């Protein structure tokens, strides 16, 4: 795979520019541990400039018809598809995602295609229920909105936030993660090529405490969508409350349980739950990091899971033969290993728990623990790595209590052939999404996705996301007798 040109500058008001301070930060490949780029560090001044450009551009953008706005989005979708290989390569060198498992660009293109045609679904309502009045409600864009995206699947989140926002007539300032900024910067080059008016989409790179903090507290940003850790989500919500009470949408962490009953298809359950926690090296907020197996099938299930979990191919993430890459950076490598060491003290290490022999980079073997107490650190806290706890249970009542005994509630799964049991658990599990005989990352695009409890605030999806970026106004028209 040939290396594409790497864009590292900020994209503000339709132009690429270096940071006003001249500051950059090094981006190290987690696979080779070499510096692959020096990336612009957006300053407070740069962030303010991006918001100002978005504010100027917004009235004219909102004045376009949905078809006119959609035409730019369709051009962008086509360009994303044309540049799939380059985007896969950039993600591989920046955060270690194997090109063999890369699908983000296809979904990003589909998101822009969908929302390009969704503008006419923005509808208010009318009422004649007040005598002497014709009343109506209007749906109108907030104006300038911000998007702060994570590093695990950047282009998916770029598209799932920006596409509905601009479809609704808003303009956007997006901040990429400092761990994976290259595909967002590449997408900015495609935005320029698609001919978007200056200021409609602005793309910043840098660290959260600078540009992210500025967006969170900026009085001209009327709504903000964030995906990332619960800790950062709390900080953003507080900054929003302390500034202009901007609308905040949060998709945060998870500690997702998968429950395997004795009547389940254990071959299917083992393969799918293994994939859920192993794909993207376990760096998924909805990966089932807790698996609970009914006692009578625990031994064959764990054997199957272990077989699937160990049969991965390590290596260069730009090599199509590799399907298990490194975690994103040195910090994440240390965090995951600290949880592994805690797990060794709490229960039984079944497999993994170390880096592969002669491995280069921040690679961690898929790791299974069993016999872990429910109050142990690795059972309670989000790890964000290829580490799973497999524990057993006897009864429905016991496992429902264990599954719900968490601060998180993003995704849960249950495997059973008993439809009545499946429906009982679908209702009783405290999660925003429940899979029955399937698990994450499977989601329906046309239904709401989001978390219960500390896993988030609000919902996203094909039929939900545009409303996140619209204000509702009531208009009363008095009619003369």
The C-alpha atoms of residue 310 and residue 322 are separated, in whole angstroms, by 14
H-run or E-run covering 335: helix 330-346
pLDDT above 70 (res 141): yes
Q: What was the pLDDT predicted at 4?
A: 85
Is residue 121 classed exposed, middle or buried when 0-12, 13-18 and 19+ CB atoms within 10 A define those classes?
middle
Number of residues in the chain:
481
pLDDT tens for residues 142-162? 999 999 999 999 999 999 999
**Annotation says 23 is catalytic:** no
pLDDT tens-digit readout, 182-210? 999 999 999 999 999 999 999 999 999 99
Radius of gyration of the chain (CA): 23
Q: For residue 398, indicate whether it is catalytic.
A: no
pLDDT for 3: 81
Residue of higher predicted confidence among 358 and 119? 119
pLDDT band at 288 (very low <50, low <70, confident <90, very high): very high
At 299, which helix (H) or strand (E)?
A: helix 298-310
Give me the chain's average pLDDT, please: 97
- pLDDT class for 357, splitting at 50, 70, 90? confident
CA–centroid distance for 390 within its chain: 25
Which residue, among 163, 155, 200, 180, has the nearest Cα to 11 in the 3D structure?
200
- Distances 15 to 181, 202, 350, 353, 434 between C-alpha atoms, Å: 17, 9, 53, 47, 43
| Of 106, 92, 91, 104, the residue nearest 185 (C-alpha) | 91
pLDDT tens digits, one per residue of 236-285: 999 999 999 999 999 999 999 999 999 999 999 999 999 999 999 999 99
Which helix or strand (DSSP H or E) is residue 172 part of? strand 171-175
Q: Is the pLDDT of residue 359 over 90?
A: no
Count of CB atoms situated within 10 Å of the CB of 478: 9
Q: What confidence score (pLDDT) does residue 1 get?
A: 59
Residue among 178, 285, 382, 460 flagged as catalytic: 285
User: If you average pLDDT over residues 356-368, what whole number do you get?
Assistant: 92
Q: What is the mean pLDDT of the segment spanning 342-352? A: 97
| Residue range 112-141: mean pLDDT, rounded | 97
pLDDT of 481 above 90: no
pLDDT tens by residue, 379-404: 999 999 999 999 999 999 999 999 99
Give me the percent of the chain exceeding a pLDDT of 90: 98
Q: Which of 251, 272, 382, 460 is catalytic?
A: 251
Distance CA 371, CA 350 (A): 10
Q: What is the mean pLDDT of residues 444-457?
A: 96
């Amino acid at each position: 795979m040939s290396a594409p040109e790497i864009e590292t500058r900020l994209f503000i008001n339709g132009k690429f520019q270096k940071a006003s301070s001249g500051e950059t930060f090094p981006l190290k490949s987690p696979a080779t541990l070499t510096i692959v780029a020096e990336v612009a560090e957006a300053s407070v001044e740069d962030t303010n400039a991006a918001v100002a450009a978005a504010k100027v551009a917004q009235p004219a953008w909102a004045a376009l018809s949905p078809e006119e706005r959609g035409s730019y989005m369709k051009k962008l979708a086509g360009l994303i598809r044309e540049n799939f290989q380059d985007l896969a390569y950039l993600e591989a060198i920046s955060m270690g995602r194997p090109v063999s498992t890369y699908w983000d660009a296809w979904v990003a293109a589909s998101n822009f295609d969908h929302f390009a045609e969704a503008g006419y679904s923005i509808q208010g309502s009318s009422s004649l229920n007040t005598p002497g009045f014709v009343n109506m409600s209007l749906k109108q864009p907030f104006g300038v909105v911000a998007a702060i995206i994570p590093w695990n699947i950047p282009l998916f989140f770029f598209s799932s936030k920006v596409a509905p926002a601009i479809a609704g007539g808003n303009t956007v300032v997006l901040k990429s993660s400092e761990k994976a900024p290259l595909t967002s910067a590449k997408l900015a080059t495609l935005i320029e090529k698609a001919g978007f008016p200056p200021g409609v989409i602005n793309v910043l790179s840098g660290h959260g405490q600078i540009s992210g903090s500025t967006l969170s507290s900026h009085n001209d940003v009327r709504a903000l969508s964030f995906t990332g850790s619960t800790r950062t989500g709390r900080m953003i919500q507080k900054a929003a409350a302390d500034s202009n009470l901007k609308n905040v949408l949060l998709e945060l962490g998870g500690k997702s349980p998968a429950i395997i009953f004795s009547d389940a298809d254990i071959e299917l359950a083992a393969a799918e739950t293994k994939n859920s926690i192993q794909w993207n090296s376990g760096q998924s907020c909805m990966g089932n990091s807790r698996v609970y197996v009914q006692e009578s099938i625990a031994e064959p299930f764990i054997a199957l899971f272990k077989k699937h979990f160990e049969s991965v191919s390590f290596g260069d993430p730009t090599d199509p033969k590799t399907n298990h890459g490194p975690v994103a950076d040195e910090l994440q490598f240390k965090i995951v290993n600290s949880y592994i060491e805690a797990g060794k003290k709490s229960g039984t290490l079944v497999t993994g728990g170390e880096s592969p022999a002669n491995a280069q980079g921040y690679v961690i073997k898929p790791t299974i623990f069993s016999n872990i107490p429910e109050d142990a650190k690795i059972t309670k806290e989000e790890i964000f790595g290829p580490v799973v706890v497999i524990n057993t249970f006897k009864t429905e009542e016991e496992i429902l209590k264990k599954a719900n005994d968490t601060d998180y509630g993003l995704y849960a799964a249950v495997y059973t052939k008993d439809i009545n049991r499946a429906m009982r658990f679908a209702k009783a599990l405290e999660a925003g999404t429940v899979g029955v005989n399937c698990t994450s990352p499977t989601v329906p695009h046309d239904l709401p996705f989001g978390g219960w409890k500390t896993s988030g605030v609000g919902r996203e999806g094909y039929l939900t996301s545009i409303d996140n970026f619209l204000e509702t106004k009531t208009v009363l028209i008095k009619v003369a007798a």
